[in-house]
Amino acid sequence: MFLSRRGIAYVVAVVILIIALIAVIGFVQDPFGFKARKIERLQREAATAQSEADARTLESEGQAEQITRIESAGRLTIDLNAITAEAVSNARNATDANEPLEAGRAGRLRDLDRRLCDTRPGVCQPTPIDPAPAGD
């Protein structure tokens, strides 16, 4: 039961066609779930990338806020040092530094207190503070 050459060619062609059809159906149907796994992996990578981008955004916003707070604290420190240095100099050089507190000196102290309170209102106490002994 030998087939002729033409018969063998038909059989080979049919076998090749069946193999090709199975291959095409297999890749279209994705029987091993390659596409589904690839989609899941890509979705995980996208979610991770989005999380990292959000984290970097929050980090840069926090860093900007921190820089603003540090600059504000630095300016406040410089302002308070300048006001305090001026007050100490005025107190030491005042002609009435060793005399009882007079109205002029009390006015200067009140002015200094007001300037300090203007710089940082939350720190000031509502009642006046007794002045320090003469000089400082």
Whether residue 130 has pLDDT greater than 70: no
Summarize pLDDT for 32-59 with one digit per residue, the tens.
Answer: 777 888 899 999 999 999 999 999 999 9
Q: What is the pLDDT of residue 136?
A: 46
**134 touches 97 (CB < 8 A):** yes
Neighbours of 105 (CB within 10 A): 19
Whether residue 77 has pLDDT greater than 70: yes
- Both structure tokens of 135: 């000089």
Whether residue 112 has pLDDT greater than 50: yes
**7-18 exposure pattern, b = at least 16 Cβ within 10 A, e = fewer:** eeeeeeeeeeee
Whether residue 95 has pLDDT greater than 60: yes
Q: Which of 80, 116, 112, 117 is nearest to 94 (CA)?
A: 112
Q: Which of 94, 70, 92, 90 is nearest to 82 (CA)?
A: 90
